[in-house]
Amino acid sequence: MPAVMKEEIQVPDGVEIRMEGNTAEVSGPRGKIRKEFRFEDVGVKMDGEKIIVEAKRHNKVTKAALGTVKAHFRNMFKGVKEGFVYKLRVVYSHFPITVKVDGKKVLIQNFIGERYPRTAKIIGDVEVEVAGDIVLVRGIDKDEVGQTAINIERSTSVRYKDRRVFQDGCYIVEKV
């Protein structure tokens, strides 16, 4: 069946891409990202220095999948060239919170006076750095960086207390 919708993505300078079926491996100055695209009616192939994303049908679901694939490639290109940084701020008014990195976990201690630390999982090859009341989450894969940042934010959700009074926690304040 011929392609009904077709989009081209130009590969930026300094970035190399290798395709194996629907799996793309993008490498650049900061590292490599490997991602598999499993969309039923969307195919991805290389043509010289361009990536061609083709769709077999013309409906809104396939059009959305085509846009998703394009966005993933743009994020992969930006990741291997510049990287992604999420900045979180530690906020407390009742008990001083201590944030530490322990291997592939982030430990949040003394959160609202709790005795046991809350933990957040670090996904993939993401680096987490704690400097005072700022937590920096860095990496080349936007999905992994974003998921790690939201894991930290969600681990400090306040339960069974009034959120207007207990505003303690770790909050995402900036995405670069």
**pLDDT per position as a tens digit, 117-172:** 999 999 999 999 999 999 999 999 999 999 999 999 999 988 888 888 888 999 99
* Claim to verify: residue 169 and residue 126 sit in the same structural domain: yes
- Which CATH number do you get for residue 41? 3.90.930.12
Domain span at 134? 84-175
Q: Given phi > 0 = left and psi -120 to 50 = alpha, else beta, which region is 110?
A: left
Maximum separation of any 2 CA atoms in the chain, in Å? 64
* Claim to verify: residue 74 and residue 133 sit in the same structural domain: no
Q: How far apart are CA 83 and CA 76, in angstroms?
A: 9
When computed from its CA atoms, the radius of gyration of the chain, rounded to whole angstroms, is: 20
Claim: this prediction has a pTM higher than 0.85: yes
**pLDDT per position as a tens digit, 2-36:** 678 888 999 999 999 998 888 999 999 999 999 99
